[in-house]
């Protein structure tokens, strides 16, 4: 099985006529993703590589029976695109866009919390179920079908860990890049809950980083609610307190929480071993299986 996306997902690409949207739509389609429509205001009636474009997400969803969208809309307009997708409504919305103003995302988050739609992102690489469908900018060639789930705040870490998993013959059920912004839709606990409910996911890798308390909250969930084993990796161990490192959410307050040490300690207390390198994380997964 999988979580969030599979071969039956019917996908609308918001921003399909832009450069990024057009390029990655081709990549997703070549991978096998069932892209059924694009949605761009004022571009209804056009086609992009044979994919029909509609003025609205709701129109695309009605006409093409779509249930999923992936958003490649510039930051200034992305919040409106996300609100439109949430209104459609769809089962899953994946926001790839980086740089959405946080006040805009606060509005989107409130709206998302009132719906049953899974919102992933923003500022994320996307979601992939190997050999079935990918949404976003993930390099499909490094993934393989298998029984390890992965959830990560970092796109680069996702690629490193997945490449190591695949090279050792450990395929994946689904990989979810949740994004590193302070305000996101799906968080670690949301993804872990979905993996725990998936009978085909036999182990999970969770890649976190310094900043915030999401990893500590995930550790509590792992310790209290999960039977599926989890291995972790925390990036940013050498970052000084108060220094922003890459992602907008990767900043340590200096209060003793949000540090690499606090996150590692919380995970290990929950019996989720943490590797010092991506290769060591894969070692832990091999131990589980």
Query: CA 19, 23, 29 angle in degrees (round to 5)?
Result: 145
- The CA distances from residue 164 to 14, 67, 131, 171, 253, in Å, are 32, 32, 18, 10, 32
The secondary structure of 43-80 as a DSSP string is -TT-EETTEEEESSHHHHHHHHT--EEEE---HHHHHH
Distance CA 251, CA 21 (A): 30
SS (H, E, C) 186-218: CCHHHHHHHHHHCCCCCEEEEEEECCCCHHHHH
Report which of 26, 29, 245 is spatially closest to residue 157, judged by C-alpha positions: 245
Q: Which of 10, 118, 247, 263 is catalytic?
A: 247
Instruction: State how beta strands 126-129 and 133-136 pair.
Output: antiparallel
Known catalytic membership, residue 24: no
Q: Return the structure tokens found at 181.
A: 């912004």
Give the residue from 217, 125, 205 showing the smallest Cα distance to 165.
205
Give me the active site residues, please: 247
């Amino acid at each position: 099985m999988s979580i969030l996306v599979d071969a039956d997902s019917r996908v609308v690409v918001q921003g399909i006529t832009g450069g990024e949207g057009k390029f990655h739509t081709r990549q997703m389609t070549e991978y096998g993703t069932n892209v059924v429509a694009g949605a761009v205001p004022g571009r209804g009636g056009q086609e992009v590589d044979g994919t029909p474009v509609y003025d609205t997400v709701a129109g695309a969803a009605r006409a093409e029976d779509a249930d999923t969208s992936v958003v490649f809309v510039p930051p200034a307009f992305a919040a409106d695109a996300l609100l439109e997708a949430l209104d459609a409504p769809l089962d899953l919305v994946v926001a790839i866009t980086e740089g959405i103003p946080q006040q805009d995302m606060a509005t989107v988050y409130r709206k998302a919390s009132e719906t049953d739609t899974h919102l992933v992102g923003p500022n994320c690489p996307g979601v992939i179920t190997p050999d079935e469908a990918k949404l976003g900018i993930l390099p499909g060639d490094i993934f393989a079908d298998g029984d390890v789930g992965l959830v990560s705040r970092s796109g680069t870490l996702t690629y490193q860990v997945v490449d190591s998993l695949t090279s050792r013959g450990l395929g994946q059920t689904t990989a979810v890049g949740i994004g590193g912004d302070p305000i996101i839709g799906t968080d670690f606990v949301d993804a872990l809950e979905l993996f725990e409910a998936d009978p085909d996911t036999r182990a999970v890798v969770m890649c976190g980083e310094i900043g915030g308390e999401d990893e500590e909250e995930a550790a509590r969930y792992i310790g209290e609610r999960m039977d599926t084993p989890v291995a972790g990796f925390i990036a940013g161990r050498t970052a000084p307190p108060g220094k922003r490192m890459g992602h907008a959410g990767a900043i340590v307050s200096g209060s003793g929480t949000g540090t690499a040490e606090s996150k590692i300690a919380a995970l290990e207390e929950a019996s989720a071993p943490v590797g010092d390198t991506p290769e060591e994380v894969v070692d832990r997964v091999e131990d589980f299986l």
